[in-house]
A = this chain, B = another copy of it.
Amino acid sequence: MLRSIIIYVQGLQFVGETSSGHAIVMDGDPGVGGNNTGPAPMELLLLGIGGCSGMDVISILKKKKQDVRGLEINVKGEKANEYPKKFTDIDLEFVIKGKNISKEAVKRAIDLSMNKYCSVKANLEGSAKVNFSYKIIQD
């Protein structure tokens, strides 16, 4: 069981506290009456899916003794025009940098994350199409 408390501050600004002991500010865009003092709630979904899959991929590539020297995940979320304006499509691009990185190891790591381990993806794919691709930059 994970718990969080979200506390109203002012305007559309909230502070969210997690059970792991961290607090972050969330705010709305000025277009919806906020002051953009922190990420918008929908942005946290993109950070979540990128962070979750990134942790899987880095763990698996390290177990496979790959010499990973960098990993970036570019995440794009396309929103519906109609309320509730949920994400309809989420695209993840994994950019792996390293020395003699095996393409097969990368494909397998991403496949394991996307289709077995990534909890955030499992919570989003019921409502949004999650697409992914990868790019390897050899050092």
The chain A residues found within 8 Å of chain B, CB to CB, are: 1-8, 12, 14, 16, 18-22, 24, 26, 28-29, 32-34, 36, 38-52, 54-55, 58-59, 68, 70-79, 83-87, 116-128
**Contacting residues, chain B, for A58 (C-beta < 8 A):** 8, 12
Contact B127 A51 (CB under 8 A): no
- A5's contact among B1, B6, B72, by CB below 8 Å, is which? B72
**Contacting residues, chain B, for A2 (C-beta < 8 A):** 40, 42-43, 46, 76-77, 79
Total copies of this chain within the assembly: 2
Closest CB of chain B to A123's CB: distance in Å? 5
Contact A123 B8 (CB under 8 A): no
Contact A72 B4 (CB under 8 A): no
Interface residue SS majority, chain A = mixed
What are 24 pairs between A and B in contact, CB < 8 Å?
Answer: A2-B43, A2-B77, A3-B77, A6-B51, A6-B72, A14-B51, A16-B50, A16-B51, A18-B39, A18-B40, A20-B29, A20-B40, A28-B55, A41-B48, A41-B50, A41-B119, A44-B51, A44-B120, A85-B119, A87-B119, A123-B124, A123-B127, A124-B124, A124-B127
